Structure 1
């Protein structure tokens, strides 16, 4: 008896050893067969050894990556067959280190689970379905378990995504028809917030892989409930979302169609879609409602509500269609004019003057049908019309109703006032509270960052131990105190200074980092970031060696600038205390000092009288009238200077002039500003970014021309590429100090032509600020825009949107002055410039509002062309506006034009 048991034990041990060897070797296909020879007790005993092996395999290095993957596949199958509970089996199968290897293990898993009870399998299926990654990536496994157990079909997002991925290809209809889960899952798919990729793709209604067409076929066959599909589509469209996610329910709804009852019974839903949905959805809802209106299924009040929503939208196609619908309804029922005409006046303010004209004509056709109150209301709204329609409006409403004798006045925003930097937190507790808030943002604004850094330096000088104790308590478990690298690649801003203060960074590391040689940066982003890094390393080193009472480079203004008298006073305190300024701190202070202020001359004399080298350097810096801005030029398209596409970022050439003061007096981290360099292309990886970018402008707050020059590749990426947020620096450039020259205007031109609307809006704000400060050169900006538009870097439609936005704020004269310099290049171009008509339309609007500005080359020839394209129509409109002005003074002598232009320039700067 003992011999038999011993023999069985030996056999079992051998089978176990063989199984473990197969698992270790990654032979997962052999696992089900080997596992079949073990009973329940043996499997239970095997499980701890599999767990140990799993832990071992997890620690294998990258040199064993392939073997590790195979072993983990085998572990997944073996462990699933040894688990006794469904919960434990689900945890093992769905473990992160055992999943993600495709469907290689599905057959093996199903084999080792084949003998389980249906209830057990159902429990396992539901638990796996609740794991999003497993349900999607291992859909075949979960689906097979659901079928075997007969449990309810899971309807969570992961399972739905897996199902839609499985149902694809040219036999989509057959696959959906054969799957009994299809009627259950389709309604839930329609409810997903993000449409699965297979459904969002547009193959065309004739393609056998087109989901909407397949579902319509099944609805026609009765496999799917057509009414339920319509309800699902409408509900999903009403919830809104990205156009990509609405494409599928809209396409399905269009294929299914709607019955009269479905259209009339959901008027409120159609009205909601026409008001707020993306254009394709709104267009479909508008079509449905238009059919209802013409069939008498829409009340006048509902049509008025619909019209008010549509006419408020910007899409020209929708607005034109709605005006056409209103015209048809009013022809059939003129008595509805009292309710419908008041909503038509919403189109009086549309940016398209052709739409304004149609709206005014519609009002004029039925004006006799309304009473005096409505007529007065319409006359008041006529002020929104473009001046080109003023004569028609006067004829319709009378001159008295439109009387406006006020002369044109340019409206520009007030000049932004810089804010003084608030003093550092007076107590350690307040400082720590600010640092905790700043840690979450790491850098924050220039004001937040500099004020906090100033507070750390001052309190460390007063009572370093008290500050350390408070910091240790506040940041006891901060990752940057234990695991972060503060010196190898870059700093972590003020966190590096705090880490140094708390002993998490050795002084030798900080000293080596601040003295590290600096290679020529590959882009301005890295150059600006490295200047900030060097300042942090130097400040951190001071924290643990010789704390100073304050830093010289702490700004006095929110822009990062320092008043010259303040810097002189700081140098005097350093001299009296026997302190020698640190190299990076002093260099940054010099770059920040305001050289253009009235007190700069007196401050230079006081600095020279200090009798220190630092004072002499400040005096020389304040009296030197030399910008650090490199000479700027641009290679033409088609000239290869760098590999890659012909982006403007690759064609910008910045000629850096050698400046002895930078070479001899400044630390190497600032060498890029002018030390021994010849003409170099400063192309930039536009996708390189850094969380420190809010602090970049404060490196050069008194020399915005230099800052703009080095950031031009970023701005070019916003105009030519997909870069979002590229124009952020224009706000700082517009509000900073220093001269405004070619680089600022080129950067502004690129910002106005940015791909993304939010970047164009940022550029418009910068344009208006520069204009309000009297620093904008419209001729230079117009010339830059002409170059960028004609070469294709800036798209006319984007520029027109920015120009229209700027003009609408009341800056018509400013925009007019820019466009007058731009339009000749477009109108006389050898090849037609697509979208030029939109720019001419904006120019015409400006000329109608504030008067003309001389003759524009090519305008008369364009206006004389046959046809009615937008360019020709708007050219005629602009010519008429200029002709009215020029008709008063048909011929001007050169001196008269000079006087007129000087007057207009003064008008713009006010």
Structure 2
């Protein structure tokens, strides 16, 4: 049965939403409608809203739909239904549309707005984080109660907190501090702009009325005391410094001491620096305070604050306590030479014999630092090694034409070789060579683009065309890059973005040499080439002086120097996952499976806007492989369409998954979708490809690896363990990353019927962690291993996996203690004190016996 055709009034609604060219135009059209026309529109909307919302898709039409629904006499339920993630995200970018929507909603009155707030905050997913720009003006205008939902305050911190001069800001800030994890949402990709906005607003507020700094300080200290995750504590620390609260720490040091047990490393460093500096009149810490600080800081892993406290102990000479003496003995026998020497000096000064440093007998040395493995050069992609003759190029292109989906290395080799041959032989000779290579695989992006070049649809010397899409695939950027390169064959000397090393990186030396070639020939750079190259550079090694990169970029007003400056100071924000709500049948099973509901966001390349690029890499990305032709804009012809219809098949092949190693969030969502679709072998292989190049792994990829460790069959765990170990040894993964991924709220998302128990298995993940530890990665997995042990041991009903997990802890405990690492397991200790003789209780008792 086919759906009824839209009525004339419904067609009018569609036109308003989809055909309005600007917010101003739509606002004018809505303002000039008569009361009778608005009534007809409202009636037409009643049974058409879900269809209209679906057709609006994402991007500007979503904001237009929100304006339309807000302007009519709709119900709170109707308005809430259109304020989804995409609508709120678009409104946060389109301030005119946001102002129009909030003004219309405020005009409905406090009771109506309170009902809308209640509807929106009843959601149980990540969309709540996007609501703050829409809801907060309503809360302020009508003095409505502030929400208690942590997700809402995470969105407020990310999107609204920097506007310090907005109504009810101080009250809202205190509420955000009370919300666990809210400060993890500070957008690191735009941290400088965020801080500048907050600083200027703070100056206005302080000049006008001031703030209660002590109240703000105490609220922020609660974030540390509560033990929020390191990301949230870093965000709170940013605000701590923005507000200039350090000067009040001395008088509030009792509260600061109370916050230390839950504080992250960055907070500990700030606290130690502040407390050891003393009071404003030079007053130092008392002996008891210094001892308390030492007992809190010395067992931790952060070397700089630990050594600072040891130096303070050596100078201050407080009366020794047995507990502090025991801590110093452990440090004196540790492997950190400088720390061990300082501890030994203090022990001798206190009249104790210092233990000899060094490894203990019978220890395998599984606890170690990451090896810092350096990648090997990719000699086959070096300029001197690129194919230069006709047979070599033809052979390379034949490799690219085998199957569907060009291997990433082959694609990079093809593009670099095409540029080199065209540069030497000329584009017309290259066209002749390509014309004789025979038919290319019709589904492949590279082959289809080369066919367009051979048949004259792409002319040499064509300036890169702006190409954007709001909803297309990640491979849109792959296609855009290929089209840009082919269009400039014969005019460009090389590609900036061709990998120089096996980890898919481009070294700064190679990058600078390639950029100089463009300068010497007076050639502008391609925006796509610049964007991809930057995602393959090491941000930590950026030269301090970038003046040598003052060179033009096609179609952009900025130079490469300016783009590099912006990139250096704007790292990408944390990647995020969302699952669209699932509809369920009468059996409670999800009608739309989780792999079709995955949305990845965050982790956007900071330079895309400067370079005029807009695609799925910088927007919320819905994981899928089939798209409407209009979603691919003027690159639709590059992609394969089954039966020549309006649907485009665009899988995210390896060449796309490895395109931007600095931004692994969206490719990670792709392999996670494959895993959810039970394509285990493909997911493992694709996870391995991505993990080998991602810098750093990031939250979504790390979560995906743990999901594989939990859900994949036992024969695949060793592969996952190797991925984790190599990433840690190459300093692209940290223990806190693993711990955060295990504690992620994504495990509790609506994954669908029967999937969650399989996907969050402590027994399976500990089996994988044990493999990592025995291979020398104990320092990586120990924090997560002990966290799982504590979680299980503290349960009211002990899970079946408790005994095996504690046995793994017991097996590795000697190695940990030999490395001088302090171990506290209160839940395991409490379990050992229980009555009974179950396997878990016996294992707990053995662990505790090793601790004493």
Q: Shorter-normalised TM-score: what interval? A: 0.3 to 0.5
TM-score (norm 1): 0.43
Flag the structure with more relative contact order, 1 or 2, with Cα contacts below 8 A and sequence separation at least 6. 2
Greater share of residues in helix: 1
Q: Answer with 1 or 2: which has the greater Rg.
A: 1
